[in-house]
Amino acid sequence: MPRGEQPMVPDAEFESYYGRPILKEPTWKTPDVPLYLFLGGLAGGSALLAEGAALTGRPALERVARLAAAGGAGAGTVFLVHDLGRPERFLKMLRVFKPTSPLSVGSFILAPFSGLATAAAGSLVTGWFPRLGRLCGVAAAAFGPPLATYTAALLANTAVPAWHEAHRELPFVFGGSGAAAAGGLAMALAPCAESAPAVRMAALGAGVELAASTAMERRLGMLAEPYREGMPGRLTRVARGLTVGALALTAADTAMAATGRRSRVLRALAGTAFVAGSVTLRFAVFEAGRASARDPKYTVVPQRERARARGERKQSGALG
């Protein structure tokens, strides 16, 4: 534990092999993988926003969101491929389809999403095949929510205690965070006259993210420590500060808009804070998982507790 921090609960007694970790720390590189988690959320949310903008006749918002969806998916794919130990073999991902592997399922979400979002954005920018482009946009919007949330399954379907035990809430944390990022980016880049739905998406997404994070930490109990302590703890606090700050700026922006005055700067500032909060959150969750894998305490103590509870249930069953 870093200096200056007090343990929230007294350290649980446990045995280990010279304090060495039991689990292997994830080998996924940073910033590649946390950025990929963020970009997946941003792109998925943006594809939804783009289709909504197209349906409601907001061309400037549509343009920003379509480019964000295509750009996010493209950059995310680059980070994902770069993270591989053998990047030249990235196509091996599409060799089989395995529902037990979120990375396999995710590849089959990311690949069509990237293609469709790129086609939709390309059609919009060039003006070629507008109908086909729009159709691609609709399909991309269908793949958007899965793209923004499957990354939670990617982390949760591991033996890493702080990720696995969070599997019920993490998809909502990531989904909310993705909406906040997509809404936030559009708030920052689209004109005020068209970005009202982006404001709503960002604010609602941030609300979902904060509520789900709170529920997650409550359920995790001792396993919430890695999210609160040390470097991941600091990241969690920064992420939360940015998201709450963005909500406060959005409230001010909404109040001003109600009086008929609109500040482009204020809205852009709020949007940027949403995006920054979303990025930081992914780094926080990523690092918290690594910390929980490193310390044998988080492997041994919950497993001992689980085995003890099972023994008690068996005993009471045998007696009763």
Partner 1 sequence: MSFSPTSLFGRLDDVQSDAGYAEDHPPRKGFFTDTSVCIGCKACEVACKEWNHVPDDGYLLTGMSYDNTQALGASSWRHVAFVERPLDVAVTGFEAPPPPVDLGMPAVGPAHGEDQAASSGDSGVRWLMSSDVCKHCTHAACLDVCPTGALFRTEFGTVVVQPDVCNGCGYCVPACPYGVIDLRKDDGRAFKCTLCYDRLKEGQTPACAQACPTESIQFGDLDELHERADRRVAELHEKGVDVARLYGRDPEDGVGGDGAFFLLLDEPEVYGLPPDPVVTTRDIGSIWKHVGAAAAGLLVLGATSFTSRHLVPRFLSTSLGRRR
**What is the secondary structure of 174-243 as a DSSP string?**
HHHHHHHHHHHHHHHHS-TTT-HHHHHHHHHHHHHHHHHHHHHHHHHGGGGHHHHSHHHHHHHHHHHHHH
Q: Which of 198, 224, 242, 268 binds partner 1 (CB under 8 A)?
A: 198
For partner 1, give the closer residue by CB, 160 or 285.
160
Contact pick of 69, 124, 203, 291 for partner 1 (by CB under 8 A): 203
Among 14, 82, 219, 264, binds partner 1 (CB under 8 A): 14
Given candidates 34, 40, 44, 72, which one binds partner 1 under the rule CB under 8 A? 44
Please report how many Cα atoms fall inside a 13 Å half-sphere around the Cα of residue 272, on the Cβ side. 8
In the complex with partner 1, which residue's Cβ is closer, 3 or 88? 88
Residues numbered 82-111 forming contacts with partner 1, rule: CB under 8 A: 83-87, 89-90, 92-93, 95-96, 98-104, 107
Tokens of 244: 């709450």
- Binding residue for partner 1 (CB under 8 A) from 24, 218, 262, 313? 24
Residue 263 interacts with partner 1 (CB under 8 A): yes or no: no
- In the complex, the smallest distance separating the C-beta of residue 2 from partner 1, rounded to whole angstroms, is 23
Which residues have C-beta within 8 Å of that of residue 123, sequence separation ≥ 6? 129, 130, 132, 133, 134, 136
Nearest distance from C-beta of residue 143 to partner 1, angstroms: 10
Count of residues in contact with partner 1, rule CB under 8 A: 94
Task: Let me know the angle formed at the C-alpha of 239 by 204 and 180, rounded to the nearest 5 degrees.
Answer: 25
How would you classify residue 314: left for phi > 0, otherwise alpha for psi between -120 and 50, otherwise beta?
A: alpha
Give, as ranges, the residues between 123 and 162 that touch partner 1 (CB under 8 A): 144-146, 148-150, 152-153, 156-160
**Dihedral Cα 217, 234, 252, 194, nearest 10 deg:** -80
Q: Of the candidates 71, 175, 184, 232, which one interacts with partner 1 according to CB under 8 A? A: 175
Sequence-distant (≥ 6) Cβ neighbours of residue 86 within 8 angstroms? none
Stretch that binds partner 1, among 4-12, 119-127, 190-198, 231-239 (CB under 8 A): 190-198
Binding mask 46-75 for partner 1 (x = CB under 8 A): --xx--x--xx-------------------
Nearer to partner 1, 49 or 119 (CB): 49
Under DSSP, the state recorded for 21 is -
Mark the segment that binds partner 1 (CB under 8 A) among 214-222, 223-231, 249-257, 261-269.
249-257
Is residue 20 involved in binding partner 1 (CB under 8 A)? yes
Dist. CA 276–CA 243, nearest whole Å: 8
Q: Minimum distance from CB of 128 to partner 1 (Å)? A: 27
Tell me: does residue 22 bind partner 1 (CB under 8 A).
yes
Q: Is 215 in the site for partner 1 (CB under 8 A)?
A: no
Kindly list the distances between the CA atom of residue 88 and the CA atoms of 16, 46, 54, 93, 101, in Å, as whole numbers in the listed order.
40, 29, 37, 11, 21
- Which residue stretches of the chain are H helix? 32-55, 59-83, 102-126, 130-156, 161-164, 170-189, 196-220, 225-228, 230-258, 264-294, 297-319
Select 23 or 135, whichever has its Cβ closest to partner 1.
23
Round to whole Å and give the CA distance between 68 and 271. Answer: 14
Q: Cβ closer to partner 1: 230 or 245?
A: 245
Q: How far is the C-alpha of 105 from the C-alpha of 100, rounded, in Å?
A: 8
Q: Which of residues 226-245 bind partner 1 (CB under 8 A)?
A: 244
